[in-house]
Chains A and B, each alone.
Chain A
Amino acid sequence: MQNLLSSIDMIFVTAKAWVLSLLALFLPKWLIILASITISGVVILCLGPVIMMYLTLLERKLIGRIQNRYGPNRVGKWGLLQPIADGIKMFTKEDIVPANADKIVHLLAPIAIVVPALMIFLVVPFGKSMTAVNLNIGLLYFIAVSSITILPIFMGSWASRNKYSLLGGMRTAAQMISYEIPMTLAVVPAIMMSQSLSTNAIVLSQAGGCGLNWFIFTPWGIVGFIIFFLCATAECNRPPFDLPEAESELVAGFHTEYSGMKFALFYMAEYMNAFTLCGIAATLFLGGWQGPFLPSWVWFFGKTFVLICVMIWFRGTFPRFRVDHLMGFAWKFLLPLTLVNILLTALWQFTSNLVAWIGSILVLGISLWTLVKLNRTFVPEKRHYPLES
């Protein structure tokens, strides 16, 4: 039984090893290393778009259900072929480039945006020894690469020569740079506790205890997770932080002037970003692929999809932030909270017992109360409505 489980767990790793050993029969060693990288790369290149396609379907289905609709259900059973139909539509659509657009940059932007989205996949640990590249500075790499995403969006918005796009691009730049900071700081506690920048090592440090050793089950973990998750939502421009697109304000923001496959590439990048950011959130705070009984990759994908569902849930519920509130939320609320959180982690490190729990909750409570008091604009006013005859 144990054997069977572990063999299912390692099924992809074994398959790759088997293919490599087959190649080793007639290929030199340096080519095998290249082949190993190629196989991982090809898998990721296929995985990314497929995940994106089915995420769109999932999102449409879930939002449909939230809104008491069916969602797509015509193409294939339960609409399972809908993403393919969408893909065909996108491919066959006319590609419209505005007459005054900066043609080269306009073309480059959608291509450039997919690259960092795919690059992040490299350091995501999909399962036990299923990280494409086990970098010892994995998190640093992730933070660095994910912040590149701003550039292509700004390229696209600038090259379109459209005022709406331009506004969207400005918003993106401001928003992404601001949310980069609390996100990075929210990661710090996990690094502090696992004492490593490698994603694999972070997962390994959360092992055991039937999942109770996950970082989320500590006071700093839950705060860090919530902040990281909010920042991740903002990073990939998902509602309620979807200001760069802001359908009801800026038409479609930075991709107003894109159509056909270029538009699809923007979407692909957005969904892949959502997936990887949720994957990283699961890795950092939810124990990554750690979990009892089930194979490790099932745990990883399960956790990631739960987080994505929460993102979709947000989309189905919340109205959009306004630009100044959004920035204020990042700088005046999340940033101080992350700093307090780092302090808490240090506290936890030294006194890991009941005292630490009570102390952390006290510190958190006080800091939250102070932050709410300091940010009066975030608190709803009480209104009274007289009924007169």
Chain B
Amino acid sequence: MSPLAIEEVKKNLEARLPDVKLRLVGDSLLIENPEDLPRVALFLKENPKFLFDYLSSATGADYLTFLESVYHLYSMAQKQGPVVLRVRVTKNNPRIPSLAPVYRSAELQEREAFDTFGIIYEGHPDLRRLFMWEEFQGHPLRKDYEQEDAEVLEAADIAWLEARGIKIPDEMKEKAKTLQAAGQRAITRKPEKPRN
């Protein structure tokens, strides 16, 4: 959708929902207050002029100081789009109202964003991790995520494995002991940044 059309969407939204604070970021609409998101989406979905009845993509992004949730809306009935909606939240309290009641296609995508970014979508019918297992710690797509080293076992892992009758080589046990003594976790080296 061209920038002009996004202006029109914004104008319509402001006319209908005057208390919603909107800002244009590039070609997209930033909703300043996350609480307003479902209202905006519902308006765009049901207004006969727009009929954005299809949520194509919903995902998160980590911008170091804040987390962002991005939604790409299209209209199947009018064959137009996209309208890009953004919501920004702080890392300490990443709570965004869920769009799943409005668009069911958000169901799995919001679960994925919850899994990878830790954004909590309030009102989601079944907010669990999607790809990772339930006990998994951390959110892998955040920029500050530290990846565990798959080759090195920690003391807790060894205890878990040995309780199930799996034999562990001594050198691995030694390594785990030194790690534990140093109070470190088994973290892989970050991939080096390519030169700019």
Direct contact of A and B (CB under 8 A): no
Interface of A toward B, CB cutoff 8 Å: none
Interface of B toward A, CB cutoff 8 Å: none
